[in-house]
Structure formats: structure tokens, C-alpha cells
Structure 1
């Protein structure tokens, strides 16, 4: 069995989600021809930006 090479500068992130949610996510990513990893990266970046904006003084 060959080891999968990870892209430079990338790390693996693990967590548990409901099985049906994972299935729907995979189908949705496939429908737009994007990897789950790419979409997860975008979602995490957006979430972090939202958290920063919530902390900014008004």
C-alpha cells in the first residue's frame, strides 16, 4: 500500500460529524467539482473572519 503524500504546508484535521451530514457534504462538493478539503478550508477561513469581526469594538 502506497502512502498518500500530503501537500506541502498542509496538516490533517480530524473530527466527527453525523454520517448523513458527511454524505451530503461530499455530494455537494462533487457537484461543484471541488474537494471536501478545499471547501472545509474556505469554511474555516470564513468562520474565523466572522469571529474576528464579532470581537472588533463597535
Structure 2
């Protein structure tokens, strides 16, 4: 694991800590999930799936 630093509003931190505790989750575990999800979204936006061309059949389920 590695440590990262950043600044957020105090009230946001307080709410985040409260919600994590209520869910019996560590803030680190939730941050990991949130960051991974955000990265996946960014990659999907920057690398949209290839579109199939007209007239090309998909035989992948044979």
C-alpha cells in the first residue's frame, strides 16, 4: 500500500467518516473503491469500445 494526500472540506470529511463507520468500512477501503471506479470511468471515456462495422458478422458465440 501507499499513502496519498489531499485536501477536502472538513464537513465532507466528517460526513465521509460517519458514513464509513455506519457501514463498518474503513475510509481507506472506501477510498480505494471510489478511486478505482473513477479510473475505470475515465478509461472508458477516453477509450470507447470499438464499433462493429457494417456487414461484418460476429461469429464469437459459435
For the superposition of Structure 1 and Structure 2, which TM-score range results when normalised by the shorter chain?
Answer: 0.7 to 0.9
Q: What residue number does 1:38 align with?
A: 29
Unaligned runs of 5+ in 2: 50-62
Q: What residue number does 1:14 align with?
A: 5
The TM-score normalised by the length of structure 1 is 0.80
The TM-score normalised by the length of structure 2 is 0.75
- The Cα of 1:56 is off from its aligned counterpart by 1.7
Unaligned runs of 5+ in 1: 1-9
- The Cα of 1:41 is off from its aligned counterpart by 0.3
Deviations 1:4-51 (A, max 9, x none): xxxxxx011110000000000000000100000000000000000000
Secondary structure of the 1:24 match is helix
2:20 & 2:26 partners in 1: Cα distance? 6
Q: Root-mean-square deviation (CA), in Å?
A: 1.0
Q: What residue number does 1:55 align with?
A: 46
